[in-house]
Amino acid sequence: MARKRSGNKSSTPKQSSKAATGDVKLDTNAAARGKILLDTLSVPKDAASVLTALLRRRANNMTLTKGDVQEIELVIGALHRVTSDGRTQAARLSKVPNLIPGYNMATKTEREDERAADPWEKLKAFVMPSNGKRKGRGYAKIFDAIPSTKKLRRSERERTVTPEMMADEEVRKLFDGQPPYPDKIWMKDTLCSRMKRVETLIEAKVIDKKEWHLKRFLESVLRVGKTTYKSDSGIYTMYNKWKSSNCAVAPVGRGRPSIMLVEDATEATKQSLTDRSSKSSTFQLKGMKNAYAEAKKDQAEKDGLERESVDCHVSNPTAKAAMVAVAMKNPDLGLTRKKLLNKTEKRFQAEHSPMAAKAYALTCLSTHFVEGHRPRNLAKFDPKKLSKSAQQTIEWVKEAYGAEEIHPVDPNLVLSTDDTTVFVYEGTSSSAKGEDDWDWKLIDKTSERSSVRSDFEVSDNDENSGGLRIRLTFTFTASGLAAPPYVAVSGLTDDELSPSLCPDGILAAQIPGLCKGGDDIFSSGFGWLVFLRADKKGTKSKEGDSFLSIANKKFIHYNDEVLLPFIRSIREKLGWKKGTAVPDYLKACSWFDGDIGQLQTMLYEAREALDEAEKICRNKHSAASTGTQQPCDLSPVFRLLKYMQSNMTAKDDVACGLSQTIHDYFSNYLRVKGLNLDGNPRKKKALIDFLLCLPEILEGTMKKKHIKRGFIEAGMVDEETGCVPVYDKLMGTCKRWVSASKDIGIPKEEKENCRGQFQHLMKIQMANGQVSYEDMIEAGIPRDIASDGSIVEYIRPSGADAEHRQPAKTINAERQKRLREEKRRRKASAEYAKAVRDRNTIIDILKRNGEVEEELLAKRQGITLEELTIKDFMHLKKPQVKKLKAFIHARKFDGATFRPKDVAGVDGKLNLVRHSGQSAESIEADCSFQEPCLVWLAWKLRSANIVLSARDAPVLDVTVQLPQFAVVHAGPSQQKRASDYLSDKDWVLSFEATVKGRISTSTVTTAMKINADKLESSLSARLSFHVSGRVHQTKQQHWTINRFTPDNLAPMAAAMCMMGHIVDRVERWRMDECLLSLPMHDLFPLLDDEDGDKELGKLEGCYLFFDWEKMKWIRSGKTSGTGKNACFSGRMKQHYKNAASKDQMREHPLYAKYPAKDVENLGSPEGIFNDLLIYCGMAFDSKASVSSLCSHGKSDSLFVWDKEVMDELKKKGGQVRKVQLDAVAYLWEICYDLLLAEGDNVSASPGFEALGLRVNRAGTKRKSYD
């Protein structure tokens, strides 16, 4: 694909193709080379000076003709033009800005004596340097080539000048009254400096003081007239003041004298770069301005002025020129545009924190090893290649584990997830808006810093603005693998992403080719493109609102659709088979930066249960330390990605493949799902351009060596084998740990103490999942420091409080989960206590309001509240204020709190009356809502409706609801949602024709579709709880509940809504509440032998038990197969028989809690089995046509049967159709089971027992009911 630099991209100078692929070596010698070039361009000027002197000398002696003089003057002019134009072109071609001002500043000292220096000597020094070797053949013997003539011999008879005396020509030039080049007029400092020089030459007897004196020099200056002075007396007065101010050595040249010499600026630069506690690893423009300001203050202090009150402003051009001059004068300092990583003070402290590094090291070492023999997937791991530090780390961990053998987690399963943001701009850059976009910095070229450690700058939190914000999420592994890219476009408006078509504000598309190398037509990879609307986060208190932020939704979607499938696919490559339990040696360690949005979505019980089943260890990095600990940040991938993105465009791309795919998505698939970016075509074009460039960008940046480098730098794997975390490297993520500065570096004794405390702190880590700051302070770990070197007293929190601010920890450690559960209970108890107080307060206010009304109406018979007067309110019995507030509260506020600010006047006062002795007439006339009193306000609200109402008795709720939301998917081929099934007329007709047990027909409506999608999401979350709670650990990856059931949650949600069995507004019901409607209005047909439908009893399918006495659903069941009892009637008879058996009571909680009537039982029954009513959920007739239940991919297919499921069913032997119908019945049973309230469900069965989920009863943990 041909690429060009885009006109709307960053204006970064174009680098070589080598830089674009990762080996970015910025040119830091450009300033020094610019000085060499400008020095060379000054030689023609010196040659012109020599010719000018020669011309004057020969012209005075009449040795040159007029033609000769004209020709020499032409050459002199040409030489001056070469110098002038050469300097201009050099400044244009150089990468270094402000080249000429910087050069002038760097050479100002050298040019002070340029008029006194001999131009012949300067030319000789240029042609023949001090080493005696001539510079070139072209002018090697130019002086010897001059022929000897009489004219030249006559010049030998001219008056010779002794070495002590200055030549007449030079003296005349010194006294010609002309200001030095390039000044047009005499400047104050330049004139004083020349007068000082004349005095010095006279005192040194270099010139004749009788003929050449200071008065003659001033006469020449005044005669030429290039000065603002009119007489020599004014010049003498100015000169004397100048000498008395100790400024006798002023530089010659344009402008004011230098505030600070280049040598001083160089010293300030070096000092800042060598100070490891500095707020930046580079010396920037503001650093140079600060150095100049300090020099001004120092000079003011020397002059007896107040240091802090003087004006220290330094212009940007002056500071920029000084930076260029410093780079020219010192070979160890380079000028670069290398991008900085902005850091706050908190980030600086965190990255220099030994405690944060210690917590990170302990978290990594406690989770990145597994006890036992080395598995086959680590066959290439050779411990002999490990460094001594890595070997020592393994021995330490062995001792901490108390194990003889351990092995590292497979590097393919050590993962790091992180985001990076790019801004795609359309239009002008910041420089066109008048902003100063100077981004050059001075760096130490001799420093041996790691190439993957970003330079940094401590600054305030700056919010980037403008352009289209694109958030890229990546997951890398320590082996160099990468998950599919995830591109999120956030901040869309309601007009850009329709709330009606995308109600939850997240639209996702899985786009083929949007991946590394995906622009190749033979690529089979894909990437995710997600659009996020800028919805406000709701709260739990607002019924019906989602309290998930858009960031929460994005992370949940990424976790479910990208991260988990990525981990599973890696495990399959390592030998794991779907449907089987995950072995310990395939444990995964997933690291993330632990921001609030990620933490919030991972702390729900359903998420924790899923991670436990998947054997995924979730670790968070220390707060604000990701710049040194996060492998994604430490790898060069993000920096290279942003560099390449700013220099690439697909504007003229004509290759087929991805461009057509992107066009189809934006013109069709995304548009029909609610996306509309036509209102901002520049934004849309910029996004499409970026997406088309992304595959090539990723191919150039996401190389294995780049990804692995980040994990090595973070210490998660060693450099020799790429498998073992190394303690010293983990601690090396603390910049103080590796600092060579004695001021902030950690002494050897303290480092030895840190190593010596390893076992003690490791035990705490393994027991709690984290090590607190208090633990580390007690163990003597060095405290954190601020950027100014002071000790930070702040102690980071631990446990379940403010987890986003904590150091590294294992999020799903058992101890951490218990602490969070305790916190939830405390919070729930506090909320319950507050609710009780508020309820009692409201009851008291309403009671008092009723008493006030009774008192008011009792004053006069037969009146209403509307007829009351102000006098009536004034004559209330004491306490009047309390009564009036209750009266107002009931009509103004709907909560337990009376808010005076909402009803007080502009002066903030709300008293009984406005002033003492105020009459009723005065109150009515003078008071208003701007100046109210309690009496007037109560009278004004007398006819208002009461808005305060009594609250229901609160319920103590300690459950954690998993909020539900629906992701709208766009694309040509995607898994159907429940609403898609309901929108398919063929599916609806097929369902109505095949599934029995429906009493009435439900019409498909928009509300039903929305409810079905909500139900699908709820079923998915409840299934995770079911698997972790009821399915044996060895069976939690079984195909029935890991593949077949999840694939069919959408059609099942649609089917149950079609049956009319689901409550309205599913999102309002908690995870532990029942989602089944009560069996009213003939929603469920009865299966009881006496009253039930006899024909329905011959069918197969799913049935439900209902306790009418307690009005609750208690269990679901299924019946299918062969034989006369494989139907509802046969199954009911078996249930009645089992309910009378004590052995069955011991095994099944249904019969223990609901035994048969008048039979011996185990005690403490909740009811009688004979009183239960049994209803039909769904049914099918196996003797009729059931092809729609068993077919796949046809227009009338009701369920999903993929190849993996069908292969498993075929292994059962016999008729595949029969086994499929058994699977359908089990699917119905488990889905209805998921709908029941957790506290009411008496079943302990995992489901799908006959298809493989049953385990030996000796190995189960079934509760005993004896």
Confidence at residue 4, expressed as pLDDT on a 0 to 100 scale = 41
Distance of CA 1033 to the CA centre of its chain: 36
Contact criterion met (CB below 8 Å) for 1051 and 1198: yes
- List C-alpha distances in Å: 514 to 1, 313, 517, 525, 1028: 15, 51, 8, 7, 35
**Which runs of consecutive H residues, i.e. helices, occur in 1104-1215?**
1128-1139, 1142-1147, 1149-1153, 1187-1190, 1203-1210
β-bridge partners, 492: 533
Quick one: pLDDT at residue 1266?
Answer: 33
**Residues present in the chain in total:** 1266
Mean pLDDT along residues 229-244: 81
28 vs 334: CA distance, rounded Å? 4
Is the pLDDT reported for residue 1228 higher than 90? Answer: yes
Q: What is the pLDDT of residue 569?
A: 93
Residue 656 has a pLDDT of 74
Give the pLDDT band of residue 413 (cuts 50, 70, 90).
very high
pLDDT bucket at 260, cuts 50 / 70 / 90: low
Per-residue pLDDT of 1096-1133, as tens digits, reads 888 999 999 999 888 999 999 999 988 888 888 888 88
252 vs 746, higher pLDDT: 746
3-state SS assignment for residue 739 = coil
Q: What is the mean pLDDT of the chain?
A: 79
With 70 as the cut, is the pLDDT of residue 662 above it?
yes
CA 1064 from chain centre, in angstroms, equals: 38
Whether 456 has a pLDDT exceeding 50, the answer reads no
CB of 1033 within 8 A of CB of 581?
A: yes
| pLDDT of 153 over the 70 cut | no
| Residue range 1195-1205: mean pLDDT, rounded | 86
Chain centroid to CA 926: 58
Q: Look at residue 961 and tell me whether its pLDDT is greater than 70.
A: no
> What's the whole-number mean pLDDT along residues 281-298?
77
pLDDT beyond 60 at 132: no
Residue 126 pLDDT > 70: no
**What burial letters (b/e) apply to 1161-1185, b meaning 16+ CB within 10 Å?**
beeeeeebbeebbbbbbbbbbbeee
| b (16+ CB within 10 A) / e for 467-499 | bbebbbbbbbbbbbbbbbbbbbbbebeeebbbe
Predicted pLDDT of residue 540: 43
Distance between CA atoms of residues 530 and 509, nearest Å? 6
Indicate whether 799 pLDDT > 70. Answer: yes
Tokens 């073992």 belong to 724
pLDDT tens across 519-569, in order? 777 777 899 999 998 876 554 444 333 467 888 888 888 988 999 999 999
The residue type found at 1007 is A
Distance CA 1096, CA 1085 (A): 9
| Mean pLDDT, residues 328-336 taken together | 74
Query: What are the tens digits of pLDDT across the range 607-650?
Result: 777 788 889 999 998 878 878 889 998 999 988 888 888 777 77
Q: Residue 22 pLDDT more than 70?
A: no
Give yes or no for a contact between 580 and 613, defined as CB atoms under 8 angstroms apart: no
In the predicted model, what is the mean pLDDT of residues 1191-1202?
85
Distances (CA, A) of 296 to 249, 263, 300, 339: 17, 16, 6, 30
- The confidence band for 7, taking pLDDT boundaries of 50, 70 and 90, is very low
What's the rounded Cα separation, in Å, for the pair 241 and 255?
Answer: 19
Least confident of 413-417, 665-669, 708-712: 665-669
Pairing outcome for strands 441-444 and 333-336: antiparallel
Residues 616, 617, 621, 627, CA torsion sign: negative
User: 3-state DSSP helix/strand/coil percent for the chain, to nearest 5?
Assistant: 45, 10, 45
| Top-ranked range on mean pLDDT: pick from 323-337, 719-733, 863-877, 948-962 | 719-733
Q: For residue 429, what pLDDT is reported?
A: 38
End-to-end C-alpha distance for the chain, whole angstroms: 74
What is the predicted pLDDT for the residue at 848?
A: 93
pLDDT at 1018: 86
Q: Mean per-residue pLDDT for 951-963?
A: 71
Rounded to 5°, the CA angle 832-838-841 comes to: 145
pLDDT at residue 219 is higher than 90: no
pLDDT for 721 equals 92
Cα–Cα distance measured from residue 383 to residue 404, given in angstroms and rounded to the nearest whole number:
15
For residue 879, say if its preceding peptide bond is cis, omega within 30 degrees of 0. yes
* 293 pLDDT tier (thresholds 50, 70, 90): confident
580 DSSP 8-state letter: S
Q: CB 69: neighbour CB atoms within 10 A?
A: 13
Question: Higher model confidence: residue 261 or residue 875?
Answer: 875
Q: Classify residue 7 by burial, with Cβ atoms within 10 Å: 0-12, 13-18, 19+.
A: exposed
More confident: 656 or 185? 185
- The model's pLDDT over 1140-1158, given as tens digits with 9 standing for 90+, comes to 888 888 888 888 888 888 8
Residue 1259: the pLDDT is 39
Pair of tokens at residue 736:
């103080």
1262: pLDDT confidence band, cut at 50, 70 and 90? very low
Q: Is 597 exposed, middle or buried (0-12, 13-18, 19+ CB in 10 A)?
A: middle
Q: Hey, is 229 helix, strand or coil?
A: coil
Q: pLDDT digit string (tens) for 770-786? A: 999 999 999 999 998 88
**What is the structure's pLDDT at 587?**
93
Structural tokens at position 872: 């009536």
What's the pTM? 0.61
Contact by Cβ (8 Å): 355, 784: yes
Residue 340 pLDDT: 52
pLDDT at residue number 539: 42
Q: Give the number of other CB atoms < 10 A from CB of residue 146.
A: 9
CA distances to 395, 585, 1078, 1097 from 369, in Å: 12, 9, 52, 57
Residue with the bigger pLDDT between 356 and 954: it is 356
Question: What is the per-residue pLDDT across 684-725, written as a single tens digit (0 to 9) for each?
Answer: 888 888 898 899 899 999 999 999 999 999 999 999 999 999
- Containing 1106, the helix (H) or strand (E) segment is strand 1100-1107
- Which neighbouring-strand residues pair with 675? 497
| CA-based nearest residue to 349, from 796, 770, 808, 809 | 796
Q: What's the pLDDT score for residue 325?
A: 79
What is the band of 246 on the pLDDT scale with cuts at 50, 70, 90?
very low
What percentage of the chain has pLDDT greater than the value 70?
81
The pLDDT value given to residue 727: 94
To the nearest 10°, the Cα dihedral for 1117, 1118, 1124, 1125? -20
Name the DSSP class of 584.
G
Task: Report CA dihedral (582, 807, 488, 607) to the nearest 10 degrees.
Answer: 40
370 has pLDDT over 80? yes
Q: What is the mean predicted confidence (pLDDT) over 1177-1200? A: 86
Q: Which residue has the higher pLDDT, 521 or 740?
A: 740
| pLDDT tens column, 995-1042 | 988 777 678 888 899 899 889 888 888 888 888 788 887 788 888 988
Of residues 615 and 20, more confidently modeled: 615
Burial class (CB in 10 A: 0-12, 13-18, 19+), 159: exposed
| pLDDT confidence of residue 313 | 76
Share of the chain above pLDDT 90, in %: 24
Q: Would you say residue 180 has pLDDT above 90?
A: no
pLDDT of 1264 strictly over 50: no
Per DSSP, the three-state class of 330 is coil
Sign of CA dihedral 686, 690, 691, 692: positive
Categorize the per-residue pLDDT at 276 as very low, low, confident or very high, splitting at 50, 70 and 90: very low
- Residue range 966-986: average pLDDT? 79
Exposed, middle or buried by CB within 10 Å (0-12, 13-18, 19+), for 649?
Answer: buried
**pLDDT at residue 648, as a whole number:** 78
Q: Kindly list the distances between the CA atom of residue 1065 and the CA atoms of 543, 544, 545, 548, 1008, in Å, as whole numbers in the listed order.
A: 11, 8, 11, 17, 9
Lowest mean pLDDT among 137-146, 638-647, 1048-1057, 1146-1155: 137-146
Q: Is there a cis peptide before residue 182, judged by omega within 30 degrees of 0?
A: yes
User: Between residues 1231 and 1122, which one has the greater pLDDT?
Assistant: 1231
- Give me the pLDDT at residue 878, please: 87
Mean pLDDT of 1210-1226: 88
Strand partners, 589: 414, 617
